[in-house]
Chains A and B, each alone.
Chain A
């Protein structure tokens, strides 16, 4: 996962002007004209990142359905992709929008809504097991909703606070506070 660090981050994993980006642009143009094989190549290159974004921002159970929706939406909207940004960046932003919309629907249905800093108290502590990625993934999953979103978007995906604030309809200061909250909760689990 690429990451420039130091608060100067980009959510894109595509390098400007790389053959990969150029190929993506070609495939996007072909797919926009109805070429399913080109779209399959785009899927192959980007599905893992999108699937994991969906999984981390929602739940493992709903990630498959949401990823499907994202790629179907991308297929419908390919005509709006102008190639000015990397395809991965365009797709990632579309994915975040779809995920947030889906989360809003889930919230209406009062499914899995948490705002409890003690959520990790019920999570089985495994001292010294942080080398296991799955444990960390599970710890993220049970974070309070606001903290989880900001943590995933900032620390995992590399968005900046201003961008996150725009996506979530919160202030930049709130985004920073939620990030600190998430890290402090995860830190507590780390040290138990």
Chain B
């Protein structure tokens, strides 16, 4: 029932045998109906594999991917800076369900928003005389479309900084002219991680998270506008970088808080 040639039939079919073996097997097929029959079936199997149709992916997949990508930056994030988070994504813990509670999210994200907004307020104040609405107007207008009204929430301008701004002289100089970029990359990575875990989050939690992230982004945008108004101001650059760094740190804390909450909830 089984001969040595039977195990070579696929190689024969795929023309993987050397010429001598190919010829010998061909002769064998002439006298062995069983091998000839199996060869015909293997040919059917191969043809079926080649002709498989590709089913379309779920329509929602692009939305998930789009949520995980952010506009590319010109300065790469330093290697290793986010390695622990990446390891966590691919490790066994990846399947752990995140259980952010809404109050936790609100507390963490609003704290970030306050810090970000406060830092902007602080840098605007410390870079010159106290700014009134008229004095702030050119800053807002730098990146706006002509004629577009500035609609920053009042809280962005009026919130007091939770962490007092350090004088520029006490810090290391900025590594490059876009010192906020590494933080933006880290924030993007955190957003990406959250996008990947979307299905594990409660819809109400997702809505709260997205809403608060939008508030935070507005605060960051305010800081960027300040930088756009005065690109050469090292102090402003460092304040922006600090603000973004605080956002990263607080988002990381929020993630840890969520993990702790998840572990607690599983007990």
Contact = CB atoms under 8 A, between A and B. Distances in A.
Interface of A: 1, 3, 5-7, 32-34, 36, 39-40, 43-44, 47-49, 51-52, 55-56, 63-65, 67-69, 71-72, 75, 78-79, 101, 105, 108-109, 130, 133, 136-137, 140, 151-152, 155-156, 161, 176-177, 179-180, 183-184, 186-187, 190-191
B38 to A, nearest CB: 7
A108 B93 CA distance: 12
Counting chain B residues whose Cβ lies within 8 A of the other chain, the interface size class is 35 or more
- Most B CB within 10 A of own CB, among A5, A49, A71, A161: A71
- Most A CB within 10 A of own CB, among B7, B48, B53, B91: B48
Nearest to B37: A191
Given A47-B62, A68-B196, A187 B45 contact: yes
Interface in B48-98: 48-58, 61-62, 64-66, 68-69, 71-73, 90-92, 94
B54 to A, nearest CB: 4
A153 to B, nearest CB: 11
23 contacts: A1-B51, A34-B71, A36-B66, A44-B62, A48-B54, A51-B57, A52-B55, A68-B61, A68-B64, A68-B65, A68-B196, A75-B69, A78-B72, A108-B92, A151-B49, A155-B46, A155-B50, A179-B10, A183-B10, A187-B41, A187-B42, A190-B44, A191-B41
A143 to B, nearest CB: 11
Interface of B: 7, 9-11, 14-16, 38, 41-42, 44-46, 48-58, 61-62, 64-66, 68-69, 71-73, 90-92, 94, 192, 196
A48 B69 contact: no
Contacts of A72: 65, 68-69, 192, 196
A183 B46 contact: yes
A186 B44 CA distance: 10
A117 B27 CA distance: 30
A183 B45 contact: yes
B10 A176 contact: yes
A170 B112 CA distance: 51
A47 B57 CA distance: 7
Given A1-B54, A47-B61, A183-B45, 12 more contacts: A6-B14, A6-B15, A34-B72, A40-B62, A43-B65, A52-B54, A68-B64, A140-B49, A156-B49, A161-B16, A183-B46, A191-B41
Contacts, number: 120
A180 B7 contact: yes
Nearest to B73: A34
A71 B196 CA distance: 12
A156 B72 contact: no
A136 to B, nearest CB: 5
Contacts of A152: 49
Contacts of B54: 1, 48-49, 51-52
Contacts of A65: 196
A107 to B, nearest CB: 12
A180 B9 contact: yes
A48 B55 contact: yes
B48 A130 contact: yes
Contacts of A47: 56-57, 61-62
A28 to B, nearest CB: 12
A109 B92 contact: yes
B10 A180 contact: yes
A11 to B, nearest CB: 12
Contacts of B72: 32-34, 78-79
